[in-house]
Amino acid sequence: MEFAILQFALDDGELWPIAVLLLDAEDKLHLRARADLSARLRPEDARIVELFLADLIADARRSSGNVLIATLEDRLSNAIRITDRKPIPVTSIQETLQALASKYRF
């Protein structure tokens, strides 16, 4: 299993984590998105990110996880970025998503 973090580039250059992506052994992408986007984003940016994440969640339900992450890796660049994938041992998808969200301060 692998994970990656989606980040938003704030005006000051800081990369702020907005979602955790977890790719399981069956090529399914699991996602945990930050709920408090308006805490650090301008209202218009928060709305765009909310829509982007909603589309990503919908895509993850019907698409190959590997293909979806590869598409993000290929196309994201400016405001929303994705980290390199990292392997992670997983016994429970939900517990791992929660642990990663906690680690990245969601």
Token pair for 31 = 């996602």
25-79 residue pLDDT tens: 999 999 999 989 998 999 999 999 999 999 999 999 999 999 999 999 999 988 9
pLDDT computed for residue 53 by the predictor: 96
Q: Which of 61, 69, 102, 103 lies closest to 85 in space, CA to CA?
A: 69
Res 80 pLDDT > 90: yes
Cα separation, 16 vs 80, whole angstroms:
9
Helix (H) or strand (E) holding 86: strand 86-87
Confirm if 61 and 37 have CB atoms less than 8 A apart.
no
16-27 residue pLDDT tens: 999 999 999 999
Phi, then psi, of 86 in degrees rounded to 5: -130, 140
Cα separation, 31 vs 93, whole angstroms:
10
Token pair for 13 = 């250059």
Q: Of 104 and 5, which is predicted with more confidence? A: 5
Cα separation, 52 vs 58, whole angstroms:
10
Tell me the pLDDT band of 105, cut-offs 50, 70 and 90.
confident
Tell me the pLDDT band of 96, cut-offs 50, 70 and 90.
very high
pLDDT computed for residue 62 by the predictor: 95
Question: 3-state class of 36 per DSSP?
Answer: coil
